[in-house]
Amino acid sequence: NPANVEYEVVRTTLMPGALKTLAFNKSMSHKEGIKLFEISDIVLPSDNEVGAQNARRLVALYSSNTAGFEVIHGLADRIMTCVQIQPEKTYGA
């Protein structure tokens, strides 16, 4: 049984949960910014006998009073390196 009504529906995206967590923690000091991530399964429509399939997804969120492109770029680069995905040959051309 689900812990509450919020867990009775399967998730098709992780973003609402990340934004809800950010909103819940907005009273925290943002001096260093807030960084959070979640890796979890979501449910997507499928043509199989069940009509749905699980897919693993990652959501990462960075919130700060200053620009944070370099933080997000660094995170994306690190994730791509860890999962051994190389940039396409046209990248940076």
Query: Mean of the pLDDT values across residues 83-93?
Result: 76
Residue with tokens 């925290």: 28
How far apart CA 42 and CA 10 sit, in angstroms, is 7
pLDDT in tens, 66-84: 767 888 888 888 888 988 8
pLDDT in tens, 12-26: 999 999 999 888 887
Contact 29, 64 (CB under 8 A): no
How far apart CA 92 and CA 72 sit, in angstroms, is 18
DSSP letter string, 20-61: HHHHHTTTS--TT-EEEEEEEEEEEE-SSSSSEEEEEEEEEE
pTM: predicted TM-score of the whole model, two decimal places? 0.69
